[in-house]
Structure 1
Protein backbone atom coordinates (compact mmCIF):
# COMPACT_ATOMS: atom_id res chain seq x y z
CA UNK A 1 0.00 0.00 0.00
CA UNK A 2 2.56 2.54 1.10
CA UNK A 3 6.04 2.36 -0.35
CA UNK A 4 8.20 2.38 2.77
CA UNK A 5 5.59 1.70 5.38
CA UNK A 6 2.26 0.06 6.02
CA UNK A 7 -1.22 1.48 6.37
CA UNK A 8 -2.55 0.56 9.81
CA UNK A 9 -6.00 0.52 11.27
CA UNK A 10 -7.06 -0.64 14.71
CA UNK A 11 -7.15 -4.29 13.61
CA UNK A 12 -5.52 -4.45 10.19
CA UNK A 13 -2.46 -3.43 8.29
CA UNK A 14 -2.00 -3.12 4.56
CA UNK A 15 1.61 -3.81 3.62
CA UNK A 16 3.32 -4.06 0.26
CA UNK A 17 2.92 -7.44 -1.40
CA UNK A 18 5.87 -9.79 -1.10
CA UNK A 19 6.65 -12.43 -3.76
CA UNK A 20 5.65 -15.15 -1.29
CA UNK A 21 2.10 -13.72 -1.14
CA UNK A 22 1.21 -15.29 -4.50
CA UNK A 23 0.08 -18.54 -2.86
CA UNK A 24 -2.19 -16.64 -0.46
CA UNK A 25 -3.74 -14.66 -3.35
CA UNK A 26 -4.40 -17.88 -5.26
CA UNK A 27 -6.02 -19.37 -2.15
CA UNK A 28 -8.23 -16.28 -1.67
CA UNK A 29 -9.46 -16.44 -5.27
CA UNK A 30 -10.08 -20.18 -5.04
CA UNK A 31 -13.21 -19.30 -3.04
CA UNK A 32 -15.85 -18.50 -5.68
CA UNK A 33 -17.64 -16.12 -3.29
CA UNK A 34 -14.47 -14.05 -2.91
CA UNK A 35 -13.63 -14.11 -6.63
CA UNK A 36 -17.13 -13.46 -7.98
CA UNK A 37 -16.93 -9.65 -8.00
CA UNK A 38 -13.34 -9.34 -9.24
CA UNK A 39 -12.69 -9.16 -12.99
CA UNK A 40 -14.32 -12.21 -14.59
CA UNK A 41 -15.06 -13.83 -11.22
CA UNK A 42 -12.66 -16.68 -11.88
CA UNK A 43 -9.94 -18.26 -9.73
CA UNK A 44 -6.58 -16.52 -10.00
CA UNK A 45 -3.86 -18.65 -11.61
CA UNK A 46 -0.45 -18.58 -9.93
CA UNK A 47 1.16 -16.76 -12.88
CA UNK A 48 -1.46 -13.99 -12.70
CA UNK A 49 -1.01 -13.68 -8.93
CA UNK A 50 2.72 -13.28 -9.44
CA UNK A 51 2.13 -10.66 -12.15
CA UNK A 52 -0.30 -8.77 -9.87
CA UNK A 53 2.35 -8.70 -7.14
CA UNK A 54 5.02 -7.59 -9.59
CA UNK A 55 2.85 -4.78 -10.97
CA UNK A 56 1.79 -3.69 -7.48
CA UNK A 57 5.44 -3.46 -6.46
CA UNK A 58 6.22 -1.49 -9.65
CA UNK A 59 3.36 0.94 -8.87
CA UNK A 60 4.75 1.42 -5.37
CA UNK A 61 8.16 2.25 -6.80
CA UNK A 62 6.78 4.53 -9.52
CA UNK A 63 3.80 6.24 -7.86
CA UNK A 64 4.31 5.63 -4.15
CA UNK A 65 1.12 3.59 -3.78
CA UNK A 66 -0.65 0.56 -5.19
CA UNK A 67 -2.29 -2.52 -3.75
CA UNK A 68 -0.99 -4.69 -0.98
CA UNK A 69 -1.68 -7.52 1.40
CA UNK A 70 -4.26 -7.03 4.15
CA UNK A 71 -2.94 -8.61 7.33
CA UNK A 72 -4.94 -9.14 10.49
CA UNK A 73 -2.73 -7.57 13.15
CA UNK A 74 -3.73 -9.95 15.97
CA UNK A 75 -2.92 -13.14 14.04
CA UNK A 76 -0.39 -11.92 11.45
CA UNK A 77 -2.43 -13.74 8.80
CA UNK A 78 -2.86 -12.35 5.29
CA UNK A 79 -6.64 -12.17 4.91
CA UNK A 80 -7.08 -10.10 1.76
CA UNK A 81 -5.87 -7.32 -0.48
CA UNK A 82 -6.51 -3.58 -0.59
CA UNK A 83 -5.19 -0.38 -2.05
CA UNK A 84 -5.45 1.59 -5.24
CA UNK A 85 -5.74 0.15 -8.73
CA UNK A 86 -4.52 2.23 -11.64
CA UNK A 87 -6.79 1.68 -14.66
CA UNK A 88 -5.13 2.85 -17.85
CA UNK A 89 -8.02 5.09 -18.87
CA UNK A 90 -9.43 6.32 -15.59
CA UNK A 91 -8.74 7.63 -12.10
CA UNK A 92 -7.18 5.51 -9.38
CA UNK A 93 -9.73 3.33 -7.66
CA UNK A 94 -10.00 1.85 -4.22
CA UNK A 95 -10.03 -1.93 -4.35
CA UNK A 96 -10.28 -4.43 -1.55
CA UNK A 97 -11.24 -8.01 -0.90
CA UNK A 98 -11.24 -10.26 2.13
CA UNK A 99 -11.29 -13.98 2.80
CA UNK A 100 -14.83 -15.14 3.54
CA UNK A 101 -13.86 -16.23 7.06
CA UNK A 102 -13.25 -12.54 7.82
CA UNK A 103 -16.49 -11.10 6.48
CA UNK A 104 -19.03 -9.41 8.76
CA UNK A 105 -16.40 -8.12 11.19
CA UNK A 106 -16.34 -4.50 10.00
CA UNK A 107 -13.00 -4.95 8.24
CA UNK A 108 -14.35 -3.61 4.93
CA UNK A 109 -15.52 -0.39 6.60
CA UNK A 110 -12.17 -0.10 8.36
CA UNK A 111 -10.27 -0.51 5.09
CA UNK A 112 -12.40 1.93 3.09
CA UNK A 113 -12.10 4.63 5.76
CA UNK A 114 -8.32 4.17 5.97
CA UNK A 115 -7.88 4.19 2.19
CA UNK A 116 -9.97 7.35 1.81
CA UNK A 117 -7.96 9.09 4.55
CA UNK A 118 -4.74 7.99 2.86
CA UNK A 119 -5.94 9.35 -0.50
CA UNK A 120 -6.72 12.69 1.15
CA UNK A 121 -3.77 13.04 3.54
CA UNK A 122 -0.88 11.27 1.83
CA UNK A 123 -1.82 11.55 -1.83
CA UNK A 124 -3.49 14.97 -1.66
CA UNK A 125 -6.55 13.84 -3.61
CA UNK A 126 -9.81 15.73 -3.46
CA UNK A 127 -11.87 12.68 -4.38
CA UNK A 128 -11.60 8.93 -4.51
CA UNK A 129 -13.59 6.42 -6.56
CA UNK A 130 -14.53 2.77 -6.38
CA UNK A 131 -16.38 0.63 -8.91
CA UNK A 132 -18.79 -2.05 -7.80
CA UNK A 133 -20.83 -4.66 -9.65
CA UNK A 134 -24.53 -3.74 -9.23
CA UNK A 135 -25.27 -7.04 -7.47
CA UNK A 136 -22.49 -6.53 -4.92
CA UNK A 137 -24.78 -4.89 -2.41
CA UNK A 138 -22.42 -5.42 0.53
CA UNK A 139 -19.64 -3.34 -1.02
CA UNK A 140 -22.14 -0.73 -2.18
CA UNK A 141 -23.43 -0.51 1.40
CA UNK A 142 -19.90 -0.18 2.82
CA UNK A 143 -19.08 2.60 0.36
CA UNK A 144 -22.36 4.45 1.00
CA UNK A 145 -21.73 4.21 4.74
CA UNK A 146 -18.34 5.87 4.22
CA UNK A 147 -19.99 8.76 2.35
CA UNK A 148 -19.49 7.61 -1.25
CA UNK A 149 -22.23 8.53 -3.72
CA UNK A 150 -23.09 7.04 -7.09
CA UNK A 151 -21.33 8.70 -10.02
CA UNK A 152 -21.79 6.34 -12.98
CA UNK A 153 -20.33 8.78 -15.46
CA UNK A 154 -16.87 7.62 -14.31
CA UNK A 155 -17.42 3.86 -14.67
CA UNK A 156 -15.41 2.38 -17.50
CA UNK A 157 -17.38 -0.88 -17.36
CA UNK A 158 -21.10 -0.53 -18.15
CA UNK A 159 -21.78 -3.44 -15.79
CA UNK A 160 -20.26 -1.56 -12.84
CA UNK A 161 -21.50 1.27 -10.71
CA UNK A 162 -19.02 3.97 -9.84
CA UNK A 163 -19.01 5.49 -6.36
CA UNK A 164 -17.28 8.78 -5.60
CA UNK A 165 -16.22 10.28 -2.29
CA UNK A 166 -15.31 13.96 -2.25
CA UNK A 167 -12.59 14.49 0.31
CA UNK A 168 -12.17 17.55 2.45
CA UNK A 169 -9.05 18.47 4.32
CA UNK A 170 -9.35 19.24 7.99
Structure 2
Protein backbone atom coordinates (compact mmCIF):
# COMPACT_ATOMS: atom_id res chain seq x y z
CA UNK A 1 0.00 0.00 0.00
CA UNK A 2 1.28 3.42 -0.83
CA UNK A 3 1.44 6.32 1.60
CA UNK A 4 -1.86 8.21 1.53
CA UNK A 5 -2.98 5.96 -1.27
CA UNK A 6 -4.79 2.70 -1.69
CA UNK A 7 -4.27 -0.67 -3.23
CA UNK A 8 -7.38 -1.56 -5.18
CA UNK A 9 -8.76 -4.72 -6.73
CA UNK A 10 -12.09 -5.25 -8.44
CA UNK A 11 -13.84 -5.91 -5.10
CA UNK A 12 -11.44 -4.72 -2.40
CA UNK A 13 -9.58 -1.64 -1.24
CA UNK A 14 -6.58 -1.75 1.09
CA UNK A 15 -6.30 1.66 2.72
CA UNK A 16 -4.30 3.07 5.61
CA UNK A 17 -5.76 2.27 9.00
CA UNK A 18 -7.76 5.05 10.67
CA UNK A 19 -8.01 5.37 14.47
CA UNK A 20 -11.64 4.23 14.37
CA UNK A 21 -10.54 0.92 12.78
CA UNK A 22 -9.17 -0.34 16.11
CA UNK A 23 -12.64 -1.40 17.28
CA UNK A 24 -13.30 -3.26 14.03
CA UNK A 25 -9.97 -5.10 14.40
CA UNK A 26 -10.89 -6.15 17.95
CA UNK A 27 -14.25 -7.45 16.70
CA UNK A 28 -12.59 -9.29 13.81
CA UNK A 29 -10.05 -10.95 16.11
CA UNK A 30 -12.75 -11.96 18.60
CA UNK A 31 -13.59 -14.80 16.22
CA UNK A 32 -11.47 -17.86 17.13
CA UNK A 33 -11.28 -18.81 13.44
CA UNK A 34 -9.35 -15.59 12.89
CA UNK A 35 -7.12 -15.32 15.94
CA UNK A 36 -6.11 -18.97 16.30
CA UNK A 37 -3.47 -18.71 13.55
CA UNK A 38 -2.28 -15.14 14.18
CA UNK A 39 0.53 -14.10 16.53
CA UNK A 40 -0.03 -15.81 19.90
CA UNK A 41 -3.41 -17.27 18.92
CA UNK A 42 -5.32 -14.97 21.25
CA UNK A 43 -7.95 -12.28 20.59
CA UNK A 44 -6.63 -8.78 20.00
CA UNK A 45 -7.02 -6.41 22.96
CA UNK A 46 -8.24 -2.83 22.59
CA UNK A 47 -4.77 -1.54 23.52
CA UNK A 48 -2.99 -3.79 21.01
CA UNK A 49 -5.44 -2.83 18.24
CA UNK A 50 -4.84 0.87 18.88
CA UNK A 51 -1.07 0.25 18.93
CA UNK A 52 -1.28 -1.69 15.64
CA UNK A 53 -3.13 1.21 14.01
CA UNK A 54 -0.55 3.73 15.30
CA UNK A 55 2.48 1.64 14.30
CA UNK A 56 1.02 0.94 10.87
CA UNK A 57 0.69 4.68 10.33
CA UNK A 58 4.27 5.21 11.50
CA UNK A 59 5.49 2.57 9.04
CA UNK A 60 3.63 4.27 6.21
CA UNK A 61 5.44 7.51 6.98
CA UNK A 62 8.83 5.84 7.49
CA UNK A 63 8.77 3.33 4.61
CA UNK A 64 6.06 4.57 2.26
CA UNK A 65 3.98 1.42 2.65
CA UNK A 66 2.97 -1.06 5.33
CA UNK A 67 -0.24 -2.70 6.49
CA UNK A 68 -3.76 -1.39 6.32
CA UNK A 69 -7.46 -2.09 6.43
CA UNK A 70 -9.06 -4.32 3.81
CA UNK A 71 -12.51 -2.98 3.00
CA UNK A 72 -15.18 -4.07 0.57
CA UNK A 73 -15.25 -1.65 -2.34
CA UNK A 74 -19.05 -1.93 -2.52
CA UNK A 75 -19.79 -1.06 1.13
CA UNK A 76 -16.59 0.36 2.64
CA UNK A 77 -16.89 -2.16 5.48
CA UNK A 78 -13.62 -3.34 7.07
CA UNK A 79 -13.33 -7.10 6.55
CA UNK A 80 -9.63 -7.69 7.17
CA UNK A 81 -6.06 -6.47 7.10
CA UNK A 82 -3.21 -6.77 4.60
CA UNK A 83 0.13 -5.39 3.59
CA UNK A 84 3.77 -5.69 4.55
CA UNK A 85 4.96 -6.00 8.13
CA UNK A 86 8.49 -5.78 9.48
CA UNK A 87 8.89 -8.50 12.12
CA UNK A 88 12.04 -7.05 13.70
CA UNK A 89 14.78 -8.90 11.85
CA UNK A 90 14.90 -6.31 9.06
CA UNK A 91 12.85 -8.41 6.65
CA UNK A 92 9.52 -7.53 5.14
CA UNK A 93 6.72 -10.03 5.45
CA UNK A 94 3.49 -10.15 3.53
CA UNK A 95 0.51 -10.44 5.91
CA UNK A 96 -3.21 -10.68 5.33
CA UNK A 97 -6.40 -11.89 6.92
CA UNK A 98 -10.11 -11.76 6.18
CA UNK A 99 -13.25 -12.21 8.24
CA UNK A 100 -14.61 -15.78 7.89
CA UNK A 101 -17.82 -14.51 6.27
CA UNK A 102 -15.66 -13.55 3.29
CA UNK A 103 -13.69 -16.79 2.94
CA UNK A 104 -14.09 -19.07 -0.09
CA UNK A 105 -15.29 -16.25 -2.37
CA UNK A 106 -12.02 -15.63 -4.20
CA UNK A 107 -11.25 -12.50 -2.18
CA UNK A 108 -8.10 -14.00 -0.65
CA UNK A 109 -6.73 -14.82 -4.10
CA UNK A 110 -7.65 -11.36 -5.36
CA UNK A 111 -5.97 -9.72 -2.38
CA UNK A 112 -2.84 -11.86 -2.52
CA UNK A 113 -2.44 -11.26 -6.27
CA UNK A 114 -2.56 -7.50 -5.65
CA UNK A 115 -0.01 -7.75 -2.82
CA UNK A 116 2.36 -9.81 -4.99
CA UNK A 117 2.06 -7.25 -7.80
CA UNK A 118 2.72 -4.41 -5.34
CA UNK A 119 5.78 -6.23 -3.97
CA UNK A 120 7.09 -6.56 -7.51
CA UNK A 121 6.77 -2.79 -8.10
CA UNK A 122 8.75 -2.17 -4.90
CA UNK A 123 11.45 -4.69 -5.76
CA UNK A 124 10.72 -6.89 -2.74
CA UNK A 125 12.40 -10.15 -3.65
CA UNK A 126 11.83 -12.69 -2.40
CA UNK A 127 8.39 -12.12 -0.98
CA UNK A 128 8.09 -13.76 2.43
CA UNK A 129 5.08 -15.02 4.35
CA UNK A 130 4.87 -17.06 7.52
CA UNK A 131 1.90 -19.28 8.20
CA UNK A 132 0.79 -21.87 10.71
CA UNK A 133 0.92 -25.29 9.01
CA UNK A 134 -2.61 -25.98 10.30
CA UNK A 135 -3.90 -22.92 8.44
CA UNK A 136 -4.64 -24.95 5.33
CA UNK A 137 -6.62 -22.18 3.61
CA UNK A 138 -3.74 -19.73 3.85
CA UNK A 139 -1.18 -22.36 2.81
CA UNK A 140 -3.26 -23.09 -0.30
CA UNK A 141 -3.57 -19.38 -1.12
CA UNK A 142 0.18 -18.92 -0.86
CA UNK A 143 0.93 -21.95 -3.01
CA UNK A 144 -1.61 -20.83 -5.63
CA UNK A 145 0.19 -17.46 -5.74
CA UNK A 146 3.53 -19.14 -6.42
CA UNK A 147 4.97 -19.30 -2.92
CA UNK A 148 6.95 -22.39 -1.94
CA UNK A 149 7.71 -23.80 1.48
CA UNK A 150 11.22 -22.67 2.42
CA UNK A 151 11.46 -23.72 6.07
CA UNK A 152 9.32 -25.76 8.45
CA UNK A 153 9.37 -24.65 12.06
CA UNK A 154 10.66 -21.23 11.08
CA UNK A 155 12.76 -19.48 13.70
CA UNK A 156 12.38 -22.46 16.04
CA UNK A 157 8.58 -22.22 16.11
CA UNK A 158 6.92 -25.54 15.20
CA UNK A 159 3.67 -23.65 14.51
CA UNK A 160 5.23 -21.37 11.89
CA UNK A 161 6.43 -22.21 8.39
CA UNK A 162 8.20 -19.78 6.06
CA UNK A 163 7.05 -19.48 2.45
CA UNK A 164 8.95 -17.58 -0.23
CA UNK A 165 8.11 -16.36 -3.71
CA UNK A 166 10.77 -15.13 -6.10
CA UNK A 167 9.69 -12.25 -8.27
Deviation digits for residues 1-30 of structure 1, max 9, x if unmatched? Answer: 321210001110100000010000000001
Residue 154 of structure 1: how far off its partner (Å): 9.6
Tell whether the 8 Å contact from 1:129 to 1:164 is kept in structure 2 after alignment: yes
Question: Which secondary structure does the structure 2 equivalent of 1:82 belong to?
Answer: strand
**1:142 match:** 141
Q: Whole-Å Cα distance in 2 between the matches of residues 163 and 21 of structure 1? A: 29
Residue 166 of structure 1: how far off its partner (Å): 0.4
Aligned length: 166
**2:84 match:** 84
1:80-119 matches, cutoff 5 A: 80-119=80-119
**1:164 match:** 164
Q: Whole-Å Cα distance in 2 between the matches of residues 126 and 153 of structure 1? A: 20
Q: 1:153 to 1:34 in 2, by over 3 A?
A: closer
Q: Please list every run of 5 or more consecutive structure 1 residues that lacks an aligned counterpart in the other structure.
A: none
Q: 1:40 to 1:153 in 2, by over 3 A?
A: closer
Q: TM-score, normalised by structure 2?
A: 0.95
Q: Please list every run of 5 or more consecutive structure 2 residues that lacks an aligned counterpart in the other structure.
A: none
Residue 90 of structure 1: how far off its partner (Å): 4.7
- Moved >4 Å (runs of 4+): none
Q: 1:58 to 1:157 in 2, by over 3 A?
A: farther
Question: Which secondary structure does the structure 2 equivalent of 1:87 belong to?
Answer: coil
Q: Whole-Å Cα distance in 2 between the matches of residues 48 and 125 of structure 1? A: 28
Q: 1:41 to 1:153 in 2, by over 3 A?
A: closer
Tell whether the 8 Å contact from 1:25 to 1:49 is kept in structure 2 after alignment: yes
Give the CA RMSD over aligned residues: 1.4
Q: Whole-Å Cα distance in 2 between the matches of residues 9 and 155 of structure 1? A: 31
Tell whether the 8 Å contact from 1:90 to 1:156 is kept in structure 2 after alignment: no
Question: Which secondary structure does the structure 2 equivalent of 1:2 belong to?
Answer: coil
Q: Whole-Å Cα distance in 2 between the matches of residues 125 and 84 of structure 1? A: 10
1:2-151 matches, cutoff 5 A: 2-121=2-121, 123-151=122-150
